[in-house]
Amino acid sequence: MDAEKRLPFASDYQQGAHPRILERLAAANMEANPGYGTDAHSDHARELIRTACNAPQAEVHFLVGGTQANAVAIDALLAPWQGVVAADSGHVSIHEAGAIEACGHKVIQFPEKDGKLNAADVDAMATSWEQDENHDHMVMPGLVYISQPTEYGTLYSLDELSALRATCDAHSMKLYVDGARLAYALAAPSNNVQLSDLARLADAFYIGGTKCGALLGEAMVFPKPSTCPHFFTLMKRRGALLAKGMVAGIQFETLLDGDLYQQIGTRAVEQAGRIAQAFQTAGCELMHPQETNQVFVALDEKRYAQLSARVEMSFWEQLADGRTVVRLATSWATSDEDVDALAALLGGIVLPGN
Amino acid sequence: MDAEKRLPFASDYQQGAHPRILERLAAANMEANPGYGTDAHSDHARELIRTACNAPQAEVHFLVGGTQANAVAIDALLAPWQGVVAADSGHVSIHEAGAIEACGHKVIQFPEKDGKLNAADVDAMATSWEQDENHDHMVMPGLVYISQPTEYGTLYSLDELSALRATCDAHSMKLYVDGARLAYALAAPSNNVQLSDLARLADAFYIGGTKCGALLGEAMVFPKPSTCPHFFTLMKRRGALLAKGMVAGIQFETLLDGDLYQQIGTRAVEQAGRIAQAFQTAGCELMHPQETNQVFVALDEKRYAQLSARVEMSFWEQLADGRTVVRLATSWATSDEDVDALAALLGGIVLPGN
Amino acid sequence: MDAEKRLPFASDYQQGAHPRILERLAAANMEANPGYGTDAHSDHARELIRTACNAPQAEVHFLVGGTQANAVAIDALLAPWQGVVAADSGHVSIHEAGAIEACGHKVIQFPEKDGKLNAADVDAMATSWEQDENHDHMVMPGLVYISQPTEYGTLYSLDELSALRATCDAHSMKLYVDGARLAYALAAPSNNVQLSDLARLADAFYIGGTKCGALLGEAMVFPKPSTCPHFFTLMKRRGALLAKGMVAGIQFETLLDGDLYQQIGTRAVEQAGRIAQAFQTAGCELMHPQETNQVFVALDEKRYAQLSARVEMSFWEQLADGRTVVRLATSWATSDEDVDALAALLGGIVLPGN
Amino acid sequence: MDAEKRLPFASDYQQGAHPRILERLAAANMEANPGYGTDAHSDHARELIRTACNAPQAEVHFLVGGTQANAVAIDALLAPWQGVVAADSGHVSIHEAGAIEACGHKVIQFPEKDGKLNAADVDAMATSWEQDENHDHMVMPGLVYISQPTEYGTLYSLDELSALRATCDAHSMKLYVDGARLAYALAAPSNNVQLSDLARLADAFYIGGTKCGALLGEAMVFPKPSTCPHFFTLMKRRGALLAKGMVAGIQFETLLDGDLYQQIGTRAVEQAGRIAQAFQTAGCELMHPQETNQVFVALDEKRYAQLSARVEMSFWEQLADGRTVVRLATSWATSDEDVDALAALLGGIVLPGN
């Protein structure tokens, strides 16, 4: 381990793209493609996504990043008098610099549990709005935002997702799933929500590229056609349309053509599992169940100082008892060597990598 | 020439990136970089840009595309009560789906001449606003938008640019230069406006990447520091912040490290010159002077039919006399073979390529 | 005539309200009404308006002022990807401080003739948009804005209005009529457009109160129900909902209960006719036909100086020949004495007032 | 008591205006005033407000209603990257249909206690934002919104207000006070915050008219000049500018010329005190201290049914124990007879009215 270079667990977007993506970009480099996502690669990627989602009528649009994807799609899905229901910990609630509000919509925030919204809580809130005789003076809850996996790396079960869908139906709300890290959900041993379930249950969701091995790009899926008319123009209006649309198209073509997206997810989840085990073996408490590629762990002062010097991690929060919560994230690029080195730092024993 | 494949002159963003860019992206692929433009490549690219602009204090931010760059920067430069002054033909006026208005600002449009605004006209308009006793009920002209080269491929001379700057100063307006195709301006034989002039005369401008050989990316330059406080957050709020910021950083590092940006421009302008000459030799009228990488030419019905079958061009407009105006664009990727093939179609004689 | 006090022809909103309105406000003052327009006066006013418009299904909402009415209704009528087509001289184009753009929509401006849009021009523009192969990158024309009478006091004939409606139908656009001064149109001898015509031909229009004898208030009429769902909440969201809704309701109840609105219009148009005649007799040129309550007249330097000292007028523009165009406006409050005094200043002979 | 007519305690905006206001409006009706708040009455009202606030440099603007006043002023006070800190119960948080968000800003909500924010909580939140290493991805807290009295009729003490000011200073935030019901705060026996304190401690506040005896109107006070440049145009842009500005000017002139505003407040607070006492005597629990003109009381099922049939009240919430919380509000128009009648219904003994 290079003393100068800390182990890279700060995020899942530190490296470039999975090598196969770079190869495909290079191979197509001299093609003369039409712009703005009308090229054959983008069309092929759309077809692969429709097939993977078992949603032959789905409309698919490629956006650049997660905040942009959320803002453009949620604004398109909402009427002007409606707002988004989200967990306090939701990306749209706190980590997008007010992008939803910049489009004119309120984020109606809820306390979360392990990063998740509960159907019963959402139902109670929507019912309360409906029964309030002044509700025409209030923002109508129009859409439920969740992320799969959540910002804490946890997963909605199929039952939980179905319950949210039923709640949305009962209150004429839309259901939107932020899949910035969807590869890691799909690859999680504890997961029972497949792409076809998302397509069946959500009004819109996106298959994350940036945090799942692409240079950039998020594939927004509207399972039912005409969900958002003129979405192309809405993307343009928000500066979200790539001139060289094939740059996104080729990447999703690569991720979905075969099982690369699954491979990327599986690899990262396994490495995260090894890391979680190493921390637990070392007596450190996990703050949330490690189900996907993120590990949230509480470190005492000494351990925090030791690791900070050698490991790139994300500071998460300070606990009242003096411990520091940090997040470690893995990706396709996480090497066995780096996981082993981390385990060695922790003095623990870890399962062999693959 | 493949009968199935038409000659690719539809735009300057049909191919991927200049090969050197792909090489550098591949070389850096396994580096663990911090996100959001805080990486060393982005910093290096910023430093190269400051040097090239002779603007050591300049702030530089990397955005993804032109419409986004314009909307985010212009919104940041304007007060809420101000609007943008632009030519009718300006990209912000007609081809950005209302992105400026989506940020709450009016585009105050002016008739253009060869795609350009005239300082005297702008001065008259601003004076008229100032003298109107009801001007507090009107949108204040706050910023002049021009593009270099213009949407018609023409160039502002240093005198014209200086006159616009003086007009802006006289009326407390800002001057913004859209450099989506700046490489082709800088490389034009008729150009006398250098990067350092832009940095001296404009409040903000961007060095175009997408249309000048990159996969994507535009480098916004604020020559004076603190021109737009919290621009990073404003980018995030508009969904314009790349998580993997190094993807833009590496590309601009490559373009500006050495003379690649100049090379790309020079090559394309020369090829456009050959194309313009071929058309003129064939008796076709150019609608605007060919100064950069775009050729606007009027074709009679027969010629239009002939070329449409063999050449990808952009339809521009229908003239009253029955002719069709089309646009041909060149780039780093324009081959001698394709230019020769076009010249052959036109039956003309062209200068040898290089 | 008081030497200190100039004759009040600056606008049609200089005085308070028609005395009958004040009486009715006073009479209802101690009633305990529910808020936000749900009171019996507002309901009665709505019913009177539906009857006057021969539109029994119409939805009617009371807003406070013209700019607000335009912005809230047009934003509600447009999809996010659409813009407003308006004359250069339209109130939404220049005298509302960018209120339409502040709601995110472009005003697509057209040259006017006597303040009016021409159906053929609008048709050509919409056709051009439809045929442009890049129109998904452009703002879709979604609504045609006109004012009746126009900002220059001129009138659309029923044929012209019908032609605009046909054009709107042909291009799936909505037709919106700004009736800030509608009383003066309805009372004009040259007018052949009745309230029922507006209700039949427009998707939305408002019956102006502020400039037609009320303290404030504009009655927005959506002839077809459900044209703008949740318009109440949209008004609230834009700060356009009066808590004491009866203040607007009582005023429109007064204006429409009987022929007060007609009386107010007739009186003002007659006085404007006398003023126009006095100017013409004095050899001054009218810039637009005087059809309603506004007189636009060009004054040479001497005449302008003479009148400015004695008459409140609105400066309109400076002509190249040195003359100044001013606007004089009349209202219910314009007295015979003041018109006579103006005529005396002009040295002309005027028809007796009534 | 008329069996058909219930006692009017639903709100403080059920009746028209204090009779003296109507008199003054009628007296000035035939004056020819300039528009948009440039008239002598508005100027006089501004001067009276400056004097009452001991703020000779203050800028004063008249808006129409509370939601509008909040949205226009807060949008003017905030930078685009900033949001509003408010209590969950704040008017901007829940009862303005997302008007703040429609201007592009997030409302960062906090749990309230008796409708109030606590300086320590605000300080902790702002500190947390400052210390978060990702805060450039988050909405910056830019302004603290409070209402005096609060939505629950409670009051900030001078100490509490000073503490909030200090917190704002410590974190470069602005302090904004919604004074929709300010007359009742100023008249409350428990109040120790005067207009001059507000002018000294707040960056902006408004003196409520609509809910304090006017037909409409709120007087926005910026104690320091140039706090919000071009506020006039910002009002216009949001449709908040009254053409007949004297309608607001005359009302505030009347309220502030002498002690009418104080009288109105005192009368209402006394009546609310009698009502609170009657409820307490009848064994009903007050949910918040009755300090101003609002009484929040929990009623058991039987009592609620009895009163609902005879009294107009506002439903507030359902308690888990089956009781219903209602709000009663008083105003200048609340008669002794109505309060006596309510007390009689409650079977209680009340202090004599005055």
Q: What DSSP state is assigned to residue A37? A: T
Do C339 and C223 belong together in one domain? no
The answer to whether A60 and A46 are in contact (CB under 8 A) is yes
> Which bin fits D236, alpha (ψ -120 to 50), beta or left (φ > 0)?
alpha
How high is the pLDDT of residue D126?
Answer: 97
The radius of gyration computed from the CA coordinates of chain C, to the nearest angstrom, equals 21
Interface test with D, best of A95, A106, A108 (most D CBs within 10 A): A106
- Nearest by CB to D138, which of A83, A97, A139? A97
Do C118 and C233 belong together in one domain? yes
How high is the pLDDT of residue B1?
Answer: 43
How high is the pLDDT of residue A5?
Answer: 85
Give the whole-angstrom CA distance, residue C111 versus residue C90: 10
CB contact D107 to A (< 8 Å)? yes
Phi first, then psi, for residue A294 (nearest 5°) are -120, 140
Report if residue A354 sits inside a domain. Answer: no
Q: Say what angle helices A158-170 and A119-131 make with each other, to 10 degrees.
A: 10
Give the gap in angstroms from C-alpha A231 to the nearest C-alpha of chain D: 21
CA-based nearest residue in chain C for residue D39? C14
CATH of the domain at D298: 3.90.1150.10
Contacts of residue C94, Cβ cutoff 8 Å, sequence gap at least 6: B138, C88
CB contact under 8 A, B81 and D237: yes
Give the whole-angstrom CA distance, residue C214 versus residue C207: 11
Mean pLDDT of chain A: 96
Report if residue C141 sits inside a domain. Answer: yes
Model's pTM, two decimal places? 0.96
Can you tell me whether residue A223 is helix, strand or coil? coil
Q: What residues 214-243 of chain D have any CB closer than 8 A to a CB of chain C?
A: 215-216, 233-234, 236-243
The predicted-structure confidence for C154-181, as pLDDT tens digits, reads as follows 999 999 999 999 999 999 999 999 999 9
Note the ipTM here: 0.96
Give the gap in angstroms from C-alpha C19 to the nearest C-alpha of chain A: 34
The answer to whether B32 and A8 are in contact (CB under 8 A) is yes
Handedness of CA B347, B348, B349, B354 (dihedral sign): negative
**Is the pLDDT confidence value at A226 over 80?**
yes
Give the gap in angstroms from C-alpha C354 to the nearest C-alpha of chain A: 49
How high is the pLDDT of residue A12?
Answer: 97
**Among candidate residues A257, A284, A306, the one where a domain is terminated:** A257
CB contact under 8 A, B105 and C109: no
The answer to whether A219 and A174 are in contact (CB under 8 A) is no
Give the whole-angstrom CA distance, residue D168 versus residue D204: 13
The chains found to touch C (3+ Cβ pairs under 8 angstroms) are: A, B, D
Chain centroid to CA A45: 19
Give the whole-angstrom CA distance, residue D18 versus residue D215: 8
Phi first, then psi, for residue B178 (nearest 5°) are -85, 110
Do B202 and B282 belong together in one domain? no
How high is the pLDDT of residue A352?
Answer: 52
CB contact A75 to C (< 8 Å)? yes
Interface test with B, best of A238, A312, A338 (most B CBs within 10 A): A238
Q: How many CA atoms lie within 13 A of A56 on its CB side?
A: 0
Can you tell me whether residue A240 is helix, strand or coil? coil
Report if residue C352 sits inside a domain. Answer: no
Can you tell me whether residue A185 is helix, strand or coil? helix
Q: How many CA atoms lie within 13 A of A307 on its CB side?
A: 29
% chain A with pLDDT above 70: 97
Report if residue D354 sits inside a domain. Answer: no
Do B268 and B245 belong together in one domain? no
CB contact under 8 A, A239 and B72: yes
Give the whole-angstrom CA distance, residue A310 versus residue A305: 9
Helices (H), chain C: 19-27, 40-53, 66-77, 91-94, 99-102, 119-131, 158-170, 182-186, 195-201, 231-237, 246-256, 260-281, 301-310, 336-346
- Nearest by CB to B101, which of C105, C136, C138? C105
Give the whole-angstrom CA distance, residue B260 versus residue B17: 12
Cβ neighbours, 10 Å, residue A354? 9
CB contact under 8 A, A68 and B16: no
**Among candidate residues A224, A257, A290, the one where a domain is terminated:** A257
Do B177 and B288 belong together in one domain? no
**Among candidate residues C194, C226, C257, the one where a domain is terminated:** C257
The predicted-structure confidence for A104-140, as pLDDT tens digits, reads as follows 999 999 999 999 999 999 999 999 999 999 999 999 9
- Nearest by CB to C106, which of B98, B136, B315? B98
Do D251 and D271 belong together in one domain? no
The chains found to touch A (3+ Cβ pairs under 8 angstroms) are: B, C, D
pLDDT by residue for chain B (354 residues), tens only, comes to: 445 689 999 999 999 999 999 999 999 999 999 999 999 999 999 999 999 999 999 999 999 999 999 999 999 999 999 999 999 999 999 999 999 999 999 999 999 999 999 999 999 999 999 999 999 999 999 999 999 999 999 999 999 999 999 999 999 999 999 999 999 999 999 999 999 999 999 999 999 999 999 999 999 999 999 999 999 999 999 999 999 999 999 999 999 999 999 999 999 999 999 999 999 999 999 999 999 999 999 999 999 999 999 999 999 999 999 999 999 999 999 999 999 999 999 985 555 544
Give the whole-angstrom CA distance, residue D198 versus residue D217: 19
Give the whole-angstrom CA distance, residue B89 versus residue B87: 5
> What kind and span of H or E run contains A108?
strand A107-110
Mean pLDDT of chain C: 96
Segment C255-283 shows an average pLDDT of 97
Side chain identity, residue C48? L
Q: Which domain holds residue C296?
A: 7-14+261-346
Do A107 and A197 belong together in one domain? yes
Cβ neighbours, 10 Å, residue A347? 10
Nearest to C196 by CA among C43, C56, C45, C41: C56
Q: How many CA atoms lie within 13 A of A239 on its CB side?
A: 34
Nearest to C330 by CA among C281, C266, C239, C287: C266
Interface test with B, best of C68, C93, C106, C110 (most B CBs within 10 A): C106
Give the whole-angstrom CA distance, residue C291 versus residue C276: 10
CB contact D39 to A (< 8 Å)? no
Give the gap in angstroms from C-alpha B245 to the nearest C-alpha of chain D: 14
Cβ neighbours, 10 Å, residue B182? 28
Q: Find the length of chain D.
A: 354
How high is the pLDDT of residue A1?
Answer: 43
CB contact under 8 A, B65 and A239: yes
Q: What DSSP state is assigned to residue B180? A: T
C146-to-B237, B334, C151, C164, C176 alpha-carbon distances in Å = 36, 49, 9, 10, 6
Give the whole-angstrom CA distance, residue D281 versus residue D278: 5
Report if residue B80 sits inside a domain. Answer: yes
Give the whole-angstrom CA distance, residue C141 versus residue D146: 42
CA-based nearest residue in chain C for residue B134? C95
CB contact A315 to D (< 8 Å)? yes
Side chain identity, residue D56? P
CA C218, C223, C228: angle at the middle one, nearest 5?
80
CA C27, C31, C32: angle at the middle one, nearest 5?
160
CA-based nearest residue in chain B for residue D137? B233
Structural domains counted in chain B: 2
Contacts of residue A304, Cβ cutoff 8 Å, sequence gap at least 6: A323, A324, A326
% chain C with pLDDT above 70: 97
How high is the pLDDT of residue D349?
Answer: 52
Report if residue A2 sits inside a domain. Answer: no
Interface test with D, best of A68, A78, A101, A137 (most D CBs within 10 A): A101
Helices (H), B54-142: 66-77, 91-94, 99-102, 119-131
The predicted-structure confidence for B58-74, as pLDDT tens digits, reads as follows 999 999 999 999 999 99
Do A292 and A154 belong together in one domain? no
Give the gap in angstroms from C-alpha B209 to the nearest C-alpha of chain A: 11
Contacts of residue A300, Cβ cutoff 8 Å, sequence gap at least 6: A322, A323
CATH of the domain at C182: 3.40.640.10
Do B323 and B183 belong together in one domain? no
Do D113 and D224 belong together in one domain? yes
A141-to-A84, C48, D98 alpha-carbon distances in Å = 6, 35, 11
Report if residue C354 sits inside a domain. Answer: no
Segment C17-36 shows an average pLDDT of 98
The answer to whether C322 and C4 are in contact (CB under 8 A) is no
Do C97 and C155 belong together in one domain? yes
- Omega cis (within 30) before A229: no
- Nearest by CB to A98, which of D105, D109, D134? D105
Do C128 and C266 belong together in one domain? no
Chain B hits for D132, Cβ within 8 Å = none
Contacts of residue C174, Cβ cutoff 8 Å, sequence gap at least 6: C77, C78, C142, C143, C144, C168, C203, C204
How high is the pLDDT of residue C5?
Answer: 85
State the 10-residue block means of pLDDT for chain D, 354 residues long: 77 97 98 97 98 98 98 98 97 97 97 95 96 95 98 98 98 98 98 98 98 98 97 98 98 97 98 98 96 98 95 94 97 97 83 49
Strands C174-178 and C7-8: unpaired
Report if residue A224 sits inside a domain. Answer: yes
**Is the pLDDT confidence value at A341 over 90?**
yes
Nearest to D217 by CA among B189, C347, C215: C215
Nearest to A179 by CA among A217, A215, A141, A143: A217
CB contact under 8 A, A233 and C140: yes
